[in-house]
Amino acid sequence: MEKFTVLIEARPFCAFDNTPMEQLEQTGMQIIDMRGSGVDDPQFVKALGQADAILCGNDLRVNDEVLDMAPRVRAIAKMGAGLDTVDIDAATRHQAIVFHTPGANNQAVADHTFALILNVARKIIYCDRSLREKRWEHTKIMGLEIWQKTLGLIGLGAIGRCVALRARGFEMKVVAHDPFWPEEFALEQGIEKMQIEDLLKVSDIVSLHVPLMAQTKGIINAKTLELMKPTAILINAARGGIVNEADLYQALKNKKIAGAGLDVFEEEPPSQSPLLELDNVVLTPHTAAFTFEGMHNMSAGVVEQLIAYYRGNKPVHLVNARVWDKREA
């Protein structure tokens, strides 16, 4: 009998702790370790043809084209919560289940969100660079306080709620928009529900915590940026396509808003982005989830579900359950 073969593409998988990889190997599965490779590599394409499951991250676009090269694949194990790189409809057409690891990096991303808020508000990166360049701008650099300011969260899911809890320490007023409103949590934390337009008008800091999909693509654009206060800060540690970066560049350059902190971009890496020229934006290379704990949680979570599937059990965070149900029937 042919062995069950797993093709590992996700670069962050077991980046700090090899235990989940060892757990996979102990099950008897055959592992093809091609972390950091992709469809431009002929060896990777060859491996796709041998794989029964793909363990992927944010680099590989799993679509019809890729799945056509992987006729044996019946499971797509996505490391992380975001599913914008996996075409769920294509996977369903190919009779491949998809599962992911929501919740594994909530705390890491919430921490990073506040790191961006504070860095932008107090111009930490600029101050550091100024000193390294032998400039002493002691009375020239003015920051913004976040104490008791209004934090507007677009998205009050798992990560948004973690950010809201951190805001309590700064005695911030929190307002939020989410079509799937967490009534009990919002009531407990005194979070006011708002439409996006109203939220943008009243918030001193706007932080995005929604997935990238048709409804959220480009929701921050020239029109919505015009609604924000000139002293406001925009934070995006969700997905790049949620923000129209050309419009954001103009808003920052023309001081329509005070600053921005971005961990994600429309094109990654953003090597040609004009945002790199500006001093009122703090940029990080899609590292919000990259903590020892967050990476381990994602690696362990995806392996736990992959092993469950291998043993005939339903993965906990299954996305397209109808494929599973059809097989079971």
What distance in Å separates the CA atoms of residue 328 and residue 190, rounded to the nearest whole number?
A: 44
List the structure tokens of 69: 């090269």
Rounded Cα gap, residues 100 and 102, in angstroms: 6
Element (DSSP H or E) covering residue 5 = strand 5-8
Structure tokens at 75: 């499971």
Tokens linked to 45: 């394409």
* Cβ partners under 8 Å of residue 256, min gap 6: 225, 226, 228, 230, 250
Whole-angstrom CA distances from 187 to 108, 160, 182, 304, 318 are 25, 15, 9, 34, 30
CB contact burial 158-182 (16+ within 10 A = b; e otherwise): bbbbbbbebbeeeebbbbbbbeeeb
Residues designated catalytic: 239, 268, 286
Cis peptide before 42 (omega within 30 of 0): no
